[in-house]
Amino acid sequence: MKPDDCQTMTEVRYGVDRLDEQIVALLGERFGYMRAAARIKSDRGAVRDEKRKAEVIANVRRHAKDEGVPDKVIADLYERLVEASIAYEFDRYDAMRG
């Protein structure tokens, strides 16, 4: 069911819960790429890449605008997500190299 088809709050909540499950699964996959990056990068200093961070946030802002979603909200969410991803990648990098 699409959001515009919802007639009850039960339907809305079901849709949100279903999407949240999918979003968490996609975030799990995204963090898997952070594990791969930690494994591939040979220099700990390469974990934080401000140029790439800016690129990711610019990309999601553009996608948000294309989808009619508030791009500032998405940029704020991604700021937190990217910082959490960097912290996770540092943890994984350090754990892999003892």
Q: How many CB atoms lie within 10 A of CB 85?
A: 20
The reply, when asked if residue 44 is annotated as ligand binding, is no
At 42, give phi and psi (nearest 5°): -95, -10
The reply, when asked if residue 72 is annotated as ligand binding, is no
The reply, when asked if residue 50 is annotated as ligand binding, is no
Please report where in the chains the tokens 């999918």 appear, as a residue. Answer: 22
The reply, when asked if residue 97 is annotated as ligand binding, is no
Question: Quick one: DSSP state of residue 42?
Answer: S
* Binding-site positions: 13, 30, 41, 89
* Binding-site positions for substrate: 13, 30, 41, 89
